[in-house]
Every structure is written in C-alpha cells, then in structure tokens.
Structure 1
Amino acid sequence: MTSFNSIIAAVAVVGLLLGHGANAQEKQWTKITIGTEGSFAPWNYEEGGKLKGLEIDLAEDICRRAKLECSFIVQDFDGLIPALNVGKIDAVMSGMSATAKRAEVIAFSQPYATGGQTFGIQKGGPLEALPFKGELINLNDEASALDKIEKLKAALKGKTIGVQAASINASFLDRYLKGIVDVREYKATTQHDLDLSAGRIDAIVASYNYILDAAKKPGNRDMLTAGPRFIGGVFGNGSSIGLRKSDVKLKAMLDEALIASFADGTYKNISEKYFGYDATPQYKR
C-alpha cells in the first residue's frame, strides 16, 4: 500500500509540473520586468534619477516592437541571475555576456554587442606599454591566444588587477593569470575605477566600451586602455538578454525585435550615441 501511494503521489507531482510547464508555454506576454545594474556606463547608468544608457534605449525600442510594457529594476550584477530564476525579474540587460557557463542555467537572446574586454591603466604607468595594443585576440583559438598571453605575463607578474565580482573578467583572470597577478574583486566597476585612479591597484579588466566611457569622467582623465582586446572563450558570444530557459516564447519575441532593430538602423543610431561607433553585430534573420 505504501508503495502504491508513493506511485500515486509521484504521478500527481509530475502532473502538477507538466501543468505548470504548459501554462508557462502558453503565457501571453504583455509586460516584463528587466533587471539591470544601473552603474555600468555607457551600457546602463543612473543620471538625474533616471536610468540611461545603450541598454535602456535598446530595451525601449524592442519592447515597443514586441508590444510589451517594460519596467526596470536596479540590482547588483551578481544578483541578476538568481533574481531571474526566482521570478523577481523576467529578463537581464546589463552588459551580460552569453557564456557557456551561464548558458547552463539561463537562456540568451541574439547578441547585441561584442566590443571585447581589455585592460584599463593609468597614463604614464608601467603597464602603458603592454604588448599587442589594440589587437583582437580570440580565445576560441586558444593555442594562438595562449602564446600571446604568455608574452603578457612577464609585464603583469606581481601586479594588482581590479575586476568586478562574478563577471566574465574575473573568470578570465582566474583561468589565464592565476598566480601571476593579485586579483581584487569589487561589487561595482565604479569602485575599481576609484582604486585605479588612487593608485591602489595597477590595472582593471573590463569591457572596452566601458573603459572608453569611464575615461571621460572627472577623476578618470588619466585612464587609458592597454594591451589587447579579448573576445570568445570565457567571454562568450557577446552581450545578450538573459532569460529563463522556460520562457521560449518571450525569447522568440525579443529576438525578432532585436533583429528588426539591427535591420532598420535603429540599433546603429543607439550604439553610435553611446559607443561612438556602429556596433551592429552580425545576425541571422
């Protein structure tokens, strides 16, 4: 009897789960809540009590196209994926790269930016002469990338590098420069900028577009990019909208809206406004 009751209970649970799954698939999306960090200019930032940035303008455009009412919640970067998976938010737009590790727990839209990651340093410092300045190194070609990273290690040995916690840049340092550099993690990128300008760290690793924008701000006038730009590998396929794996219909709606924005030049105008160049990615219709 106990065994029979257990079977019935198991079937009931499965039925509930299947019913829940069916309801999730049939959901008619009319509004969504988007999580963003709100302190990662030019991607997303607060100014005068309002959210601004490339991702804010892009979200407004794709929400209009998808006929969605969209609102934003500001959340620490390392809490965005947990907030998504517990249902506090429905999407993430926060300069989040679509990496293989993150794809184990969430889904991603079509990428909308692939600017790469690089080193930020202070003008006149010892790291200004880092090799491979401006060169694009694709970590998907790891054999070639490792040869160049070995050449970087001599200049970086013993240096203190600032990085945002739970970021792809933290993963990069752990994988390729562990034991070579001292890593200091920060809750927000603006915090490592302050330590860099004060000379408490030797460099940062961050988004190329982020560093270009940060260098325009008071207190960061001596900030420069140094060394190569990295793409691929631990850095993933570029910044994308993070979504729950179960929300297949919402992903399709947002992908369609993104591609339409790329195709008619709207995204080009948005990226030129915030990045200073056309960052329209390659895409498939």
Structure 2
Amino acid sequence: MSRIALLASAALAAVLAVAPASAKDWTKVTIATEGAYEPWNFVQPDGKLAGFEIDLAHDLCARMKVECTVVQNDWDGMIPALNAGKFDAIMAGMSITGKRLQVIDFSRSYAAGPSGFLVPKASDLAKLPGTGEILSMGTEEAKAKPVIDGMRALLKGKSIGVQVATIQANFVHHYFDDVATVQEYKTAEQNDLDLMAGRLDASFAEESVQLATLAKPDAKDLTIAGAEFRGGPDLGEGTGVGIRKNEPELKAMFDKAIAAEIADGSLKKLQDKWFKLDMMPPS
C-alpha cells in the first residue's frame, strides 16, 4: 500500500472513531411497573395489570408508534434491573429526585401529588397539626418547620410505616427518625395491612395511594391527618418515566408524547379516572 493510501486509510479510521453513533430506532419498548401501588399500578383479580400508569403507558406507546409491553418487577430492584437492560423504562410511581438522577434519566413529569400521614381516627395522631395544608419543601421549608416540630412532639415513641426505597421513606427518616420507630415495608399494601391491623401507629404515603386505601372497607377507621408535603430534596419534583442514561432518543420520545398528552387533555382525563385529587404536573 502506498504512503498516500496509508494516510487516507488512517484519516478515514480517525473520522469513524469520532463520528457519533447513529440514533437508535425504537420500535418496541418494554416498560416495568410494580403492580402493587393502587391506583397507579396494581394486579386485578384476573391477574391483569391495571391502573393509571398502565393506561398511560399504552397511550404513550401509541403516540410514539412503538409496540409496548408492560411487565412487573419488584420495586426495590427497579433501577438496577433497568440499568442491567432487563427492560427499557420504568413507570411505577417513581419520583424524580436528585439522587435518582445520578444513576438514571427521567422524562418530564406526568404526575405530582403531596404525601402525608394516615392514622386511626381514634388516635391522638388524628390531631396532627396542619390538616388541610399542603406545604412545599422546596419553597416553604421555613413555614413547614413549626408544623413538623408539632408533628414530632405527637409522634414521639410512635411507629410509622413507609414503603422501602421511596421518597416518603426519605422524608420520614429525615424528620422523624430520632423520635419515632420507622418500619419499612416491601410494598404499600403490606404497610396498609399493618396499619389497619393496629400494628402501626401511622403510615406516611402519597395521598392518591392513601385515598385508594381509604376506599377499602377495612380502612373505615383510618383518616388522613396533618399537613401534607411535596417537593424539595426528599420528596422530589413529580413522577416521570425512568430511562437509562444512554438512551436520549427514548427520553425525547417520552417527553414529546407526554407533552402531547397534556396539551390535548388526555392526561387530565386519565387522572380524573384514577385519582380523586388534582395530580397534574407543573407546566
């Protein structure tokens, strides 16, 4: 090979080495959900998945013109399984937080709701301060402090249930770990069962999940009490689709589909179907 040919070959190799990888052409998307977080996602008596996120997943996939498969995965293994390539996306009531953004990406938010305490009606915890208020921990932390201090006094020596690896667990450990016993559960359903059976004094969860619990006959003696909280480092900035860091095309597809879902009112209709409160994300 001549010197000129060698130089040309080397130049071509250099160009190929720095050329960007071609964009991935998505035609099939596998989405993981928990199947134990009613009304977001749950398993019906016939074994089929249902809930807000199941309906939304199929709507988004139709807008993205991809074949969509929704599968179940344990909540506490969601992010490792996503990064291991076992599925392409997560739709499981997963909130967007700074800690999670260190290891995965998120689409724009498709829901945002407050979290608070569920307690027995006959308990002294039914008098937790701030009932009816929703406080933003991102912008109203100073206003929230005296409310939380009042809660800490009433919760001293009590037991609080939370679902493991959730923003609610983060919040309760942050503000109440030193005054109460925090019990973590694998699923929200297990948490609810212990509260209804009197094995817990309170639980801390997302309000839409609490309302689904209160609709059950066994929960007739429970009530939501005290102020509710949203935002800030512990509670995150809404719920989005979890996506691997190296999948920018898929993130862009979900972002575009969610934006369209918001614009034409479809997201609001789905939320009205499944939730008993306004869960629309900030625009």
Give the TM-score normalised by the residue count of structure 2: 0.90
Aligned with residue 59 of structure 2, among 58, 61, 70: 61
Aligned match of 2:40: 43
Higher mean displacement: 57-66 or 214-223: 214-223
Per-residue Cα deviation, 1:99-126 (whole angstroms, up to 9, x for no partner) = 1111111111111111111111122222
- TM-aligned CA deviation for residue 147 of structure 1: 2.8
- TM-aligned CA deviation for residue 222 of structure 1: 2.1
Distance 1:192 1:277, change over 3 A: closer
* Residues 1:32 and 2:25 aligned together: no
Aligned match of 1:167: 166
Task: Verify the 8 A CA contact 2:35 2:49 in the aligned structure 1.
Answer: yes
1:101 & 1:175 partners in 2: Cα distance?
Answer: 15
1:198 & 1:118 partners in 2: Cα distance?
Answer: 20
Higher mean displacement: 123-132 or 91-100: 123-132
1:218 & 1:71 partners in 2: Cα distance?
Answer: 33
1:120 & 1:84 partners in 2: Cα distance?
Answer: 32
1:278 & 1:66 partners in 2: Cα distance?
Answer: 26
DSSP 3-state at the match of 2:98: coil
- TM-aligned CA deviation for residue 218 of structure 1: 3.2
Unaligned runs of 5+ in 2: 1-13
Aligned match of 2:8: none
| 1:80-91 equivalences in 2 (<5 Å) | 80-91=78-89
Per-residue Cα deviation, 1:119-172 (whole angstroms, up to 9, x for no partner) = 111222221111100211111133332232112111111110001111111111
Query: Which one-letter code corresponds to 2:61 in the other structure?
Result: C
Higher mean displacement: 55-64 or 148-157: 148-157
Percent identity over the alignment? 46
* Residues 1:122 and 2:117 aligned together: no
Query: Which one-letter code corresponds to 1:262 in the other structure?
Result: I
Task: Verify the 8 A CA contact 1:119 1:203 in the aligned structure 2.
Answer: yes
Distance 1:277 1:231, change over 3 A: closer
- TM-aligned CA deviation for residue 282 of structure 1: 2.6
Aligned with residue 138 of structure 2, among 117, 140, 144: 140
Query: Which one-letter code corresponds to 1:28 in the other structure?
Result: D
> Greater Rg, structure 1 or structure 2?
2
Aligned match of 1:196: 195
DSSP 3-state at the match of 2:119: strand
CA RMSD of aligned residues (A): 1.7
DSSP 3-state at the match of 2:132: coil
Query: Which one-letter code corresponds to 1:101 in the other structure?
Result: K
Task: Verify the 8 A CA contact 2:89 2:242 in the aligned structure 1.
Answer: yes
Aligned match of 2:154: 155
2:246 & 2:88 partners in 1: Cα distance?
Answer: 11
Task: Verify the 8 A CA contact 1:269 1:278 in the aligned structure 2.
Answer: no
2:147 & 2:249 partners in 1: Cα distance?
Answer: 42
DSSP 3-state at the match of 1:205: strand
DSSP 3-state at the match of 1:34: strand
- TM-aligned CA deviation for residue 196 of structure 1: 0.4
Aligned with residue 129 of structure 2, among 124, 128, 131: 131
* Residues 1:97 and 2:92 aligned together: no
Higher mean displacement: 244-253 or 271-280: 271-280
Unaligned runs of 5+ in 1: 1-14
DSSP 3-state at the match of 2:217: coil
- TM-aligned CA deviation for residue 278 of structure 1: 4.5
Higher mean displacement: 158-167 or 215-224: 215-224
1:28 & 1:223 partners in 2: Cα distance?
Answer: 49
Aligned match of 2:264: 264
Query: Which one-letter code corresponds to 1:245 in the other structure?
Result: K
Query: Which one-letter code corresponds to 1:166 in the other structure?
Result: A
- TM-aligned CA deviation for residue 198 of structure 1: 0.8
